A and B are shown apart, each in its own frame.
Chain A
Amino acid sequence: MAAAMPLALVVLLLLGPGGPARAESPRDSLREELVITPLPSGDVAATFQFRIRWDSELQREGDTDHYFLRYAVLPREVVCTENLTPWKKLLPCSSKAGLSVLLKADRLFHTRYHSQAVHIRPICRNARCTSISWELRQTLSVVFDAFITGQGKKDWSLFRMFSRTLTEPCPLASESRVYVDITNYSQDNETVEVNPPPTTTYEDVILGTRRTYAVYDLLDTAMINNSRNLNLQLKWKKPPENEAPPVPFLHAQRYVSGYGLQKGELSTLLYNTHPYRAFPVLLLDSVPWYLRLYVHTLTITSKGKENKPSYIHYQPAQDRLQPHLLEMLIQLPANSVTKVSIQFERALLKWTEYTPDPNHGFYISPSVLSALVPSMVAAKPVDWEGSPLFNTLFPVSDGSSYFVRLYTEPLLVNLPTPDFSMPYNVICLTCTVVAVCYGSFYNLLTRTFHIEEPSTGGLAKRLANLIRRARGVPPL
């Protein structure tokens, strides 16, 4: 089932000296790659990444050393094919050739998890940053449920996941590769078999652990020769041992507590499961204005003691204009749970501001956690241009930690909802009361009574009397 993720577009403009540049990067280049990671549960995670880089003719004077950040989020947007279509249109080969052939909506949305993103950033081409290139990265991550797609078996293949196979690389791409994560199975050939056998492997420290990937290069003519298509398959020779995956060093949860429709409390739990290292986390919360936060009730506790953040920035909300913005840098002690909680009061909206289905509730956007998590294995400094795209999305120059951006779950709160049928009820009742009470009084006071002589009857009565006289009966 597709999990509807909030669509957050973060445009981070880094205007400062920083950015990779190599003398031989072509004028505009496209690199595409697909990373397939089989998960211990049997599900398969697939991440597409497309990077387009082009030179900009703009010349900039001097060195501006400041950061601009605008944060806007739509808490609830159902992500479906109508979001995928404009995303695909940004790709140069646009689902006709290369890896984007696999982007078929009916398979991508029948998944446990679906996430799409567009990242744009400028890169300085020289030290003084007077000429820049732009980098556009598009990422799409899906997690396929083994039982829905695999019909119960844990083997997977590209055809089974995407109902398509790879045929030709995108002619505009300078690099087009598929990486399959075979970290746990590269030692022996007895648990798993990957078909066709990979020509090369790639080993690196990704997200703090050493990982091995089988590499399939679509631009390598030997790859797609006989059958004109590439269908990667993975077969399990032995049933995989169901071991629990390792707990990540940083994870978070968020929930609303309290009762009633007046007050509540918003709590975020941050878990640091590293046995001995503490690290800082930047927590960004954007709460809509109709939850009036009481900032004096903001408490941060770790291991039972109060934890004072190293940096707090709070921008209060203005009704109907802007939401609350709360940004804190919190040091998470090793092996602990940190609870950040704040109380709020729910506001009453004007009746035209309610959505057509207000009893569903109102969504609160997730908090964003950014952290440099210490790695288990130190990474050696790499050449950014040569390494695959998934390594350079959030590159960190210091190899002892890796950068992670987490989103907590979006929340649903009920606001005090009026009864929308009341205007109709009031009109009916008032009109009835006015008609019955005032109307009766009005009639009694203004009605005049006069006696009306009965009419002597018309022709019919005379005819009837004639007949009655003939019969001998008294007349009418």
Chain B
Amino acid sequence: MAAAHCFGRASTALAALLLLSFGSFAASQIEDQAEQFFRSGHTNNWAVLVCTSRFWFNYRHVANTLSVYRSVKRLGIPDSHIVLMLADDMACNPRNPKPATVFSHKNMELNVYGDDVEVDYRSYEVTVENFLRVLTGRIPPSTPRSKRLLSDDRSNILIYMTGHGGNGFLKFQDSEEITNIELADAFEQMWQKRRYNELLFIIDTCQGASMYERFYSPNIMALASSQVGEDSLSHQPDPAIGVHLMDRYTFYVLEFLEEINPASQTNMNDLFQVCPKSLCVSTPGHRTDLFQRDPKNVLITDFFGSVRKVEITTETISLQQYSEMESSYKEDQMDEELMEPLKYAEQLPVAQIIHQKPKLKDWHPPGGFILGLWALIIMVFFKTYGIKHMKFIF
């Protein structure tokens, strides 16, 4: 009896053990599936990097923007998907002792300007109007493709802004400002036009947290280098160049990003911890209440890189030869053999220039002003001298 009981108990225990293992296996599968569910649903990445300060002593703002540009390009976002706006030229500035370079570290260790930089909006083109037009997509039709933000509803966009700012505004080029309300409205326009899937907004200015206070559109995560009432400080001057090279917050963000590669699984919570008060002197802040996913599930490469899911196919595609073009080329060749060698056109045909026929000016009827003037003169004349003169005139 007891043996039967034991056996029964053992069998139930075994069954329970099997069930448990099955259950855990299934649970891990479900967990995987759930994790897949919480992964971002974006298919492409864009970046809008804006430096809003002009003049040589604002070298650090250009270096900030270029270091984010460099990281973003290194992690895979191509130039066609990056809109880079630099308000002044530091690399080839006459005051730069090493032309075509912008350094981020003292002793000129890292040239963030690089060899293949493409700046889309430069110098006077960086204005509040152009920035808002880029974000909302309301650009004149003659704008070249490289100056447009052609994002769709499955794009993750990184927006980085740096410059001089204050409580609720960011200064553009020493002559105009953008307020946090305008920025929030621009993001709402983007949301309503389905121009982004998720947006990461990073700002490195004094009192930067005030810029993200007014956001009200979904799927926006924001980071700032300092709270309201605090100043963001610059990092280190370089004695050879003579200006401060970087701002503290972006310097530590750059160091953090240098360790990221496209396969990293580092998430946003690490980015929130990047610059503690001991290093940055100001308190960086972040805002995630509008973001639907948990920041610990958001990878850094979701915004800073362009990691695509690749599906490998074993199908083959055959390329056809263009046979008809070759035959037409042969015809042309035979044609050409009969022709004599031709000359270039004249570079400066002096005789033709001097002996040009003068262009006939078209006759235009007199405009409204001339007609009105004459009508006034005639009216005054007849009023003065009487209508009886009319039959002598007409």
**How far does the Cβ of B333 sit from chain A's closest Cβ, in whole Å?**
6
Residue of A at shortest CB range from B87?
A356
**Most A C-beta atoms less than 10 A away, residue of B117, B341, B347, B356:** B347
> Do B341 and A355 have beta carbons less than 8 Å apart?
no
Q: Is A42's CB within 8 Å of the partner chain B?
A: no
> Do B347 and A370 have beta carbons less than 8 Å apart?
yes
Q: Which residues of B contact A329 (CB under 8 A)?
A: 350, 353-354
Interface of A is mostly: loop
> Do A21 and B341 have beta carbons less than 8 Å apart?
yes
Partner of A372 from the list B114, B333, B342, B348 (CB cut-off 8 Å) is B348
> Do A127 and B342 have beta carbons less than 8 Å apart?
yes
Q: Which residues of A contact B345 (CB under 8 A)?
A: 14, 16, 18-19
Instruction: Given A104-B115, A106-B100, A392-B344, output 16 extra A-B contacts at Cβ < 8 Å.
Output: A1-B99, A19-B343, A20-B344, A23-B336, A23-B337, A27-B329, A78-B92, A105-B100, A110-B98, A127-B339, A280-B348, A311-B353, A384-B343, A396-B347, A397-B346, A403-B348
Q: Is A297's CB within 8 Å of the partner chain B?
A: no
Within the assembled complex, what's the spacing in Å between the Cα atoms of A395 and B101?
38
Q: Which residues of B contact A108 (CB under 8 A)?
A: 100
Q: Is A295's CB within 8 Å of the partner chain B?
A: no
Residue of B at shortest CB range from A280?
B350
Given A80-B100, A356-B173, do A20 and B342 touch, yes or no (CB 8 Å)? yes
**How far does the Cβ of B6 sit from chain A's closest Cβ, in whole Å?**
78
Enumerate chain B interface residues (CB-CB to A < 8 A).
Answer: 54-55, 89, 91-94, 98-101, 111, 113-119, 122-124, 173-175, 325, 328-329, 332-333, 335-337, 339-348, 350, 353-354, 356
- Interface members, chain A 325-357 (any B CB < 8 Å): 329, 355-357
**How far does the Cβ of A5 sit from chain B's closest Cβ, in whole Å?**
11
Residue of A at shortest CB range from B54?
A356
> Do A1 and B94 have beta carbons less than 8 Å apart?
yes
Q: Which residues of A contact B99 (CB under 8 A)?
A: 1-2, 80, 106, 109-110
Given A27-B329, A85-B118, A372-B348, do A124 and B342 touch, yes or no (CB 8 Å)? yes
Given A1-B99, A80-B92, do A85 and B354 touch, yes or no (CB 8 Å)? no
Within the assembled complex, what's the spacing in Å between the Cα atoms of A85 and B336?
38
Q: Which residues of A contact B339 (CB under 8 A)?
A: 21, 126-127
**How far does the Cβ of A18 sit from chain B's closest Cβ, in whole Å?**
4
**Most A C-beta atoms less than 10 A away, residue of B99, B123, B333:** B99
Q: Is A79's CB within 8 Å of the partner chain B?
A: yes
Within the assembled complex, what's the spacing in Å between the Cα atoms of A105 and B98?
11
Q: Which residues of A contact B98 (CB under 8 A)?
A: 106, 110
Within the assembled complex, what's the spacing in Å between the Cα atoms of A420 and B173?
14
Q: Which residues of B contact A18 (CB under 8 A)?
A: 342-346
**How far does the Cβ of B125 sit from chain A's closest Cβ, in whole Å?**
11
Within the assembled complex, what's the spacing in Å between the Cα atoms of A59 and B342?
18
Within the assembled complex, what's the spacing in Å between the Cα atoms of A123 and B71?
45
Within the assembled complex, what's the spacing in Å between the Cα atoms of A402 and B119?
39
Q: Is A71's CB within 8 Å of the partner chain B?
A: no
Interface of B is mostly: loop
Interface size on A, residues (CB 8 A): 54
Within the assembled complex, what's the spacing in Å between the Cα atoms of A310 and B353?
8
Within the assembled complex, what's the spacing in Å between the Cα atoms of A33 and B79?
29
Q: Is A239's CB within 8 Å of the partner chain B?
A: no
> Do A78 and B100 have beta carbons less than 8 Å apart?
no
Within the assembled complex, what's the spacing in Å between the Cα atoms of A108 and B346?
33
Within the assembled complex, what's the spacing in Å between the Cα atoms of A82 and B325?
38
6 examples of A-B residue contacts, CB within 8 angstroms: A20-B342, A20-B344, A78-B123, A81-B91, A110-B100, A370-B348
Q: Which residues of B contact A355 (CB under 8 A)?
A: 124
**How far does the Cβ of B146 sit from chain A's closest Cβ, in whole Å?**
9
Residue of B at shortest CB range from A396?
B347
Q: Please, what's the 1-or-0 string for A1-23, where 1 marks a CB less than 8 Å from any CB in chain B?
A: 11010000000001011111111
Q: Which residues of B contact A16 (CB under 8 A)?
A: 345
> Do A22 and B113 have beta carbons less than 8 Å apart?
no
Residue of B at shortest CB range from A358?
B175
**How far does the Cβ of B56 sit from chain A's closest Cβ, in whole Å?**
12
> Do A126 and B336 have beta carbons less than 8 Å apart?
yes
> Do A395 and B344 have beta carbons less than 8 Å apart?
yes
Q: Which residues of B contact A85 (CB under 8 A)?
A: 115-118
Q: Is A282's CB within 8 Å of the partner chain B?
A: yes
Q: Which residues of B contact A125 (CB under 8 A)?
A: 332, 336
> Do B348 and A282 have beta carbons less than 8 Å apart?
yes
Report the 5 A-B pairs with minimum CB-CB distance, sorted nearest first.
Answer: A18-B345, A80-B92, A109-B100, A356-B173, A403-B347
Q: Which residues of B contact A127 (CB under 8 A)?
A: 339-340, 342
Given A85-B116, A109-B99, A282-B353, do A356 and B174 touch, yes or no (CB 8 Å)? yes
- Interface members, chain A 96-110 (any B CB < 8 Å): 104-106, 108-110
Q: Which residues of B contact A310 (CB under 8 A)?
A: 353-354
> Do A82 and B117 have beta carbons less than 8 Å apart?
yes
Q: Which residues of A contact B343 (CB under 8 A)?
A: 18-20, 384, 397
Within the assembled complex, what's the spacing in Å between the Cα atoms of A22 and B333?
9
> Do B344 and A80 have beta carbons less than 8 Å apart?
no
Residue of B at shortest CB range from A405?
B347
Q: Which residues of B contact A371 (CB under 8 A)?
A: 348
Within the assembled complex, what's the spacing in Å between the Cα atoms of A27 and B325?
11
Given A104-B115, A109-B100, A311-B353, do A356 and B124 touch, yes or no (CB 8 Å)? yes
Within the assembled complex, what's the spacing in Å between the Cα atoms of A284 and B340?
35
Given A78-B123, A81-B115, A126-B336, do A384 and B100 touch, yes or no (CB 8 Å)? no
> Do A126 and B100 have beta carbons less than 8 Å apart?
no
Q: Which residues of B contact A17 (CB under 8 A)?
A: 342
Partner of B92 from the list A21, A109, A370, A397 (CB cut-off 8 Å) is A109
Q: Is A55's CB within 8 Å of the partner chain B?
A: yes
Q: Which residues of A contact B356 (CB under 8 A)?
A: 311
**Most B C-beta atoms less than 10 A away, residue of A14, A19, A85, A131:** A85
Within the assembled complex, what's the spacing in Å between the Cα atoms of A85 and B93?
18
Within the assembled complex, what's the spacing in Å between the Cα atoms of A17 and B343?
9
Residue of A at shortest CB range from B340?
A127
Residue of A at shortest CB range from B113?
A81
Partner of A20 from the list B117, B325, B341 (CB cut-off 8 Å) is B341
**How far does the Cβ of A89 sit from chain B's closest Cβ, in whole Å?**
9
